[in-house]
Amino acid sequence: VEVEVARAADVAEATCQVAERVSADVICMATHAHGAVATALLGSAAQGVVRRCGRPVLLIGPAPEE
């Protein structure tokens, strides 16, 4: 497992660049699981990574509330 922190205005683009540089086998990301309307209006870093990177992306959402 390799972890890298990058700062950028475009999180999705920075994530894809780092993944390419380190030849990542998979990208793992946490999501906030916002609703469809919020995601459509605001966009989503995770959604951008899935669309832009040519690598598998594992998205991990919050634990369900009981």
Which H or E run includes 29? strand 27-30
pTM: predicted TM-score of the whole model, two decimal places: 0.73
pLDDT of residue 30: 84
Q: Which residues pair with 51 in a beta bridge?
A: none
Q: Using one digit for the tens of pLDDT, what is the confidence trace for 10-65? A: 889 999 999 999 999 999 988 876 666 656 544 688 888 988 999 999 988 888 87
pLDDT of residue 16: 93
Tokens (6 digits) for 24: 């990542």
**Tokens 């634990």 correspond to what residue?**
63
